Structure 1
Amino acid sequence: MSIEAAIEQKLLSAFSPLHLDVINESHQHNVAPGSESHFKVIIVSKDFEGERLIKRHRAVNATLSEELSQKIHALALHTYTEKEWHDYYEDNTPLSPKCLGGSRKSA
């Protein structure tokens, strides 16, 4: 199973999101073609209602702890409640920050 598919499967199971995008952004970085090392996740879940951003990110990071410790170099998280998503982002995909990391190459 690809890393992208594993991320998607774990997040679907853990958060039952109303919206989920898992985007492999590795091609935008100095890595080997076909790499799966840089991802952007856009997730909208009722689980985030009343939670601060740091708690949302910690929950996603905990769910993806295996991938983060072994396979992922960078993970841009965009975590929203349903209201936040509809009010601000539904028609505008958030941008990921520029990578400032090294040139780790993986296949």
Structure 2
Amino acid sequence: MDQIIRSKIEQEFAPQELILLNESQMHSGPATNSHFNLTLVSTSFEGKRAVARHQMVYKALAEELAGEVHAIALHLFTLEEWEKAGNASKASPNCHGGE
């Protein structure tokens, strides 16, 4: 699943930075490809608000989100925003039902 997500994101957004973490182990249940954390830096986000950026990613990953992927944390930046943020991705907290 990691490679599918990565491939679709690369094709759709031509990212300057792409960090994809599989965080399924942080959540309860047996699924190994259910929870992801995506940090994405792309010129595609120029002039777009956060909601529009999220919608763009949801559209690109619609098939995965309708199936095996239960949740994906999105951290979406323009190159300028990414540089101002210190080039740092954000970790997700543990799930209340996780280990």
TM-score (norm 2): 0.90
In 2, Cα distance between equivalents of 1:82 and 1:88 = 10
Distance 1:97 1:53, change over 3 A: farther
Instruction: Please state if 1:45 is matched with 2:42.
Output: yes
Work out the number of aligned pairs and report it: 98
Instruction: Please state if 1:79 is matched with 2:76.
Output: yes
Q: Deviations over 1:67-94 (max 9, x none)?
A: 000111111000000001011140x321
Contact 1:38–1:72 under 8 Å retained in 2: yes
In 1, Cα distance between equivalents of 2:95 and 2:55 = 20
User: Could you tell me the percent identity over the aligned residues?
Assistant: 38
Superposed, 1:1-107 pairs within 5 Å as 3-32=1-30, 35-90=32-87, 92-99=88-95
The runs of 4+ residues in structure 1 deviating greater than 6 Å are: none
Equivalent residue of 1:59, what SS? Answer: helix
Unpaired runs of 5+ residues, structure 2, are none
Question: What code does the residue aligned with 1:42 have?
Answer: T
Unpaired runs of 5+ residues, structure 1, are none
Contact 2:75–2:89 under 8 Å retained in 1: no
TM-score (norm 1): 0.84
Equivalent residue of 1:60, what SS? Answer: helix
In 2, Cα distance between equivalents of 1:19 and 1:26 = 22
Question: What code does the residue aligned with 1:96 have?
Answer: S
